[in-house]
Structure 1
Amino acid sequence: MARVPYVESEDVPERHRDLLVSSLQDRPLHVYRALGNNPAVLAGLRGFLGSLWSDSGLSDRRRELVILAVTNEIGNEYEWHQHVNIARGVGIDDDTIAAVSRGEFDAFDDEEATLLRYALAVVRGEVGDRDHDAITERYDESAVVGIAALAEGYAALGGIIDALGVELEEEFVGWEPDE
């Protein structure tokens, strides 16, 4: 059970009501309804997360791979579930998703494997010179900032979801959705 109520649209100021609805799923999501208890924070987080999506410097595929790796690392079922479905929508198959869940990055090309290892180093607080050098060989400084922010942004969101006890809207897809 969620630790805060899921607000209804009439519970938030009119200018924030659209923020309760997922633009991808065209329906209110529990995460946004929980965050709606503080509409200003909801607006700020939606703006920040939207920037991470559009300004990280990554393709849709690579953005979703990073988010999956991070949400798997932190064990956040809610965001893993949401992004498995989003990943499928951008053409990532279940075998690839399962490889991320198992940390089998050798199944990816060198650039994607480096990206995933770097994202995990970021959320583990273990980025060293070797990690930084490896990522900057493949991405410019703008993208490196975007990748680090994407990884930490979704780790933070997962922590908020866990703290608030946000529940899935449907049955969990599983850590290895191809099973």
Structure 2
Amino acid sequence: MARVPYVEQEDLDPEYRELIISSLQPGKRANVYSAVGNNQEVLDGLRTFLGSLWTHSGLTDRQREIVILTAASEIANDYEWHQHVIIGTDAGLSENEIAAIGRDDRADFDDDERALVAYSRAVVCGRVNDSVHEAAVDHFGEETAVGAAATAAGYLALGRVIDALGVDLEGDDEFVGWDLENRE
């Protein structure tokens, strides 16, 4: 149960009302944004920051979802995992690949994606060393390595906010689960 109320659009100043609506599901209020909406200026800054990671990280959609799912997995954030399993499949990840991220099984990924998972996990855990960073730069270049680090750290931060506020899945959504390979 959420620790703060979920604000509705009419609770917000007009310039902030659209910020609680999912950019991927037009018309659908996202609980995470509705919870953060209790502080409208923070919601605005958060959406701007996440939007910049989404569009300017240098990562492909698939790579971005690998980073986000890795972060969600590392911190065991159900809400973030659930949202990005759906988004990740739309970005070209199979359920088997997503499940492998959850298990930290990199065998079926190519060298670039293995380096990306390793870098993302290291960022989230605060364990980036020179060799992990250099591998990310070798595979993606400095600009995209910075984007990957910021994306992993940004979604780590978002996951911690979700935990702190006790954000629930939307409406009648049922958690997809951590073990996608054995779902019925």
Name the residue aligned to 1:2. Answer: 2
CA root-mean-square deviation: 0.8
TM (norm. structure 1) is 0.98
TM (norm. structure 2) is 0.95
Matched, 1:125 2:143: no
- Asked whether the equivalents of residues 56 and 147 of structure 1 are also in contact (C-alpha less than 8 Å), the reply is yes
How many percent of aligned residue pairs carry the same amino acid? 54
> Which amino acid in structure 1 is aligned with residue 176 of structure 2?
V
> Which amino acid in structure 1 is aligned with residue 102 of structure 2?
S
- Asked whether the equivalents of residues 97 and 176 of structure 1 are also in contact (C-alpha less than 8 Å), the reply is no
Q: Count matched residues.
A: 179
Residue 177 of structure 1 deviates from its aligned partner by: 2.1
> Which amino acid in structure 2 is aligned with residue 11 of structure 1?
D
> Which amino acid in structure 2 is aligned with residue 107 of structure 1?
D
> Which amino acid in structure 2 is aligned with residue 177 of structure 1?
L
Q: Deviations over 1:1-23 (max 9, x none)?
A: 10000001111100000001001
Unaligned runs of 5+ in 1: none
Matched, 1:67 2:68: yes
Matched, 1:19 2:19: yes
Matched, 1:175 2:178: yes
- Matches of 2:180 and 2:167, distance apart in 1: 21
Residue 132 of structure 1 deviates from its aligned partner by: 1.2
Question: After TM superposition, which residue ranges in structure 1, 4 or more long, deviate above 3 angstroms?
Answer: none
Unaligned runs of 5+ in 2: none
Residue 173 of structure 1 deviates from its aligned partner by: 0.4
Name the residue aligned to 2:151. Answer: 150
Q: Deviations over 1:46-100 (max 9, x none)?
A: 0000000111111000100110011000010000000000011122111111111
Matched, 1:110 2:111: yes
